[in-house]
Chain A
Amino acid sequence: MDWHDVTARLFPEGHHVVADGDLLAGTGRCGDTTFAVIGSAHHAEIGVELALAMARLVLATMRTHPGRPIVFLVDTAGQRLRRRDELLGLNRCMAHLAKCVEVARSRGHRVLGLVYDQALSGGFLATGMMADLCAALPESEIRVMNLSAMARVTRQPVERLAELARSSPVFAPGAINYVKMGAIDALWEGDLAAHLAAAVADAPATDTRRDVGQARGGRLLAAPIALRANVE
């Protein structure tokens, strides 16, 4: 889905979201609530500039609109794969964005995420996966890496990985698999504004994804192992 359609459906009462290159920025009204909207479009490759631009928006929200909920709209092809971005410390810029989100959360901002097209790896880790609650549109896909690159790194035949991607929830890129594993709260269809309103009201205060993954049967070990690491 195009970002224009997503924002129209999320904010039927009006929004001021604009695209500045690959960066989405602005606000949207949902019921009585104004959301800060931050995101990426056009399968953005997230490099140092875009990571810092998103962080700047989180910081600005904290300074000028204390308590305002934030929603990340995610469409990314992952981190920019260029030597220059590594040289300048892209890992740090992504971490900076993640830390800004954590500080916002600690200051009472609810943070939500919505994958509306695709999400890969680094770009997703610092945005949607830092949210209190992340949702996805049914057609969206979430990947760690493209299959051919994965085949090269793991030295498994690409046909085998493709078969696993069809049959195994651990490998399949459809967002539904992330729902089963607890990382995506739900697939949103129909009235996106209603989903958004419910999400900002119900989003958990702590990271409950492993408990959800266990309850849904998609990720059985993370919760009990983390508990044992905590108490044994």
Chain B
Amino acid sequence: MQSYYEANARERLDGLLDPGTFREILPPVARTLSPHLQALDLPAAFDDGIVIGTAKLEGLAVLVAAQEGGFMGGAVGEVQGAKITGLLERARNAEVAGIVLLLETGGVRLQEANAGLIAVSEVIRAICATRVAGIPVIAAIGGQYGCFGGMGIAAACCTGIVMSEEGRLGLSGPEVIETAHGVEEFDSRDRALVWRTVGGKHRFLLGDCDVLVDDRIDAFRRAIAQALREGDRLDLDAVEREHALLQRRVDRFGGCDDGADIWRDLGFPDPENVPLLATDALVAISQRLRAA
């Protein structure tokens, strides 16, 4: 039972995909290193920190991309962004059930500044365009670095998000907020507070993550395959439904100070126990509350 959190990008793909089906595109021998890092005299990686390729997952033909969080915190530069964008465009001409993005990233690679911001923008547009073409894009988030910055926007543009409790998803990282407005605004070293704000359980209860799974590669595999089978539609009805959901959320929870307040309002009698609940117990209670 392999931990998704502990595995690196290649190990995650190895455990996730059907054995022997993965073919890497632009593998390390292609030597697509970042010239921007080299210009700053910083270490670069042959694959620029992302592994992309074709594969099968539970028999479904997929395109996959896995970010290596250990390299530059998974942050996206010109080359990495282009690998993802090209892969997303490839899907529109291939017979695939969808695209799987294993995201672990701080967002824009600041060392590449403008090139990084544009790269993330192109990824966001490509995700949206690929979805409009009817092809599901499933994001998985469960690594040490979470999914932040412009890639937090990209993740939320995807068809669905699978997270573990260990995962974090947001826009501005807690450290950035603390730097801007002080520790009283957000104590980035208060791990419990961080996870109540951007962690997997909170995102699931809030409705921003579709599936919550245990920190196991096989659990991610099953959930991703299921999400792919559900297909996709990004149209006016879908965004109008999303708008109503988000507006209700802000109206209902806009005055809440903490994730625990939101969970209490959702019907959890002991919100302080939520972090202690096992995944399946949490999911079961949440489903009962939503049905009620």
Q: What residues of A have a CB within 8 angstroms of the CB of B257 in the complex?
A: 84
Q: What residues of B have a CB within 8 angstroms of the CB of A52 in the complex?
A: 243, 246-247, 250
User: Restricting to A187-215, which residues have a CB under 8 Å from any CB of B?
Assistant: 206-207, 209-210, 213
Evaluate contact between A81 and B177: CB separation under 8 angstroms: yes
Give me 12 other A-B pairs in contact (C-beta within 8 A), A81-B177, A98-B124, A229-B26 excluded: A81-B180, A89-B203, A89-B246, A98-B157, A121-B108, A125-B120, A142-B117, A181-B115, A182-B118, A207-B125, A225-B26, A225-B86
Evaluate contact between B243 and A56: CB separation under 8 angstroms: yes
Pick the interface stretch among B14-22, B222-230, B234-242, B284-292.
B234-242
**28 sampled A-B residue pairs with Cβ under 8 A:** A48-B246, A48-B250, A59-B239, A81-B177, A87-B198, A87-B256, A87-B259, A88-B250, A89-B203, A92-B246, A94-B156, A95-B154, A96-B242, A102-B129, A103-B236, A121-B108, A122-B149, A122-B153, A122-B171, A126-B153, A129-B117, A142-B117, A153-B176, A156-B40, A210-B122, A222-B85, A225-B86, A229-B86
| Distance between B167 CB and nearest chain A CB, rounded to angstroms | 13
Contact with B along A62-73 (1 / 0, CB 8 A): 110000000000
Q: What residues of B have a CB within 8 angstroms of the CB of A103 in the complex?
A: 132, 234-236, 238-239
Evaluate contact between A181 and B114: CB separation under 8 angstroms: yes
Evaluate contact between B124 and A130: CB separation under 8 angstroms: yes
Contact with A along B73-116 (1 / 0, CB 8 A): 00000110111111101100100000000000000101111111
Evaluate contact between A91 and B234: CB separation under 8 angstroms: no
Evaluate contact between B246 and A102: CB separation under 8 angstroms: no
Evaluate contact between B157 and A95: CB separation under 8 angstroms: yes
Chain B interface residue count, Cβ-Cβ cutoff 8 angstroms: 87
| Distance between A153 CB and nearest chain B CB, rounded to angstroms | 6
Evaluate contact between A94 and B171: CB separation under 8 angstroms: yes
Q: What residues of A have a CB within 8 angstroms of the CB of B153 in the complex?
A: 91, 94-95, 98, 122, 125-126
Evaluate contact between A178 and B114: CB separation under 8 angstroms: yes
Q: Which residue of chain B is the closest to A102 with respect to CB atoms? A: B128
B interface residues (Cβ-Cβ under 8 A, vs A): 25-26, 30, 32, 35-36, 40, 52, 78-79, 81-87, 89-90, 93, 108, 110-122, 124-126, 128-129, 131-132, 149-150, 152-157, 169-172, 174-177, 179-181, 185-186, 197-198, 202-203, 206, 208, 234-236, 238-240, 242-243, 246-247, 249-250, 253-254, 256-259, 262
Q: How many A-B residue pairs have CB under 8 A?
A: 252
Evaluate contact between A91 and B128: CB separation under 8 angstroms: no
A interface residues (Cβ-Cβ under 8 A, vs B): 48-49, 52, 55-56, 59, 62-63, 79, 81-96, 98-103, 106-107, 121-122, 124-126, 129-130, 142, 144-145, 149-150, 152-154, 156, 169-172, 177-178, 181-183, 206-207, 209-210, 213, 219, 221-223, 225-232
Judged by DSSP, the binding face of A is helix
Of A170, A172, A177, A228, the residue contacting B112 (CB under 8 A) is A170
Q: What residues of A have a CB within 8 angstroms of the CB of B25 in the complex?
A: 228-229, 232
Q: Which 8 A-B pairs have the closest CB atoms?
A: A229-B86, A95-B156, A226-B86, A91-B152, A102-B128, A225-B82, A129-B121, A91-B171
Evaluate contact between B35 and A81: CB separation under 8 angstroms: no
Q: What residues of B have a CB within 8 angstroms of the CB of A181 in the complex?
A: 114-115, 118
Which of A59, A62, A121 counts the most B-chain CB atoms under 10 A from its CB?
Answer: A121
Q: Which residue of chain A is the closest to B34 with respect to CB atoms? A: A221
| Distance between B95 CB and nearest chain A CB, rounded to angstroms | 15
Which of A92, A169, A207, A231 counts the most B-chain CB atoms under 10 A from its CB?
Answer: A92
A216 and B80 CA atoms in complex are apart in Å by 21
Of B84, B110, B125, the residue contacting A153 (CB under 8 A) is B110
Of A90, A170, A182, A229, the residue contacting B82 (CB under 8 A) is A229
Q: Which residue of chain B is the closest to A178 with respect to CB atoms? A: B114
A95 and B175 CA atoms in complex are apart in Å by 22
Q: What residues of B have a CB within 8 angstroms of the CB of A85 in the complex?
A: 171
Of A84, A144, A221, A227, the residue contacting B117 (CB under 8 A) is A144
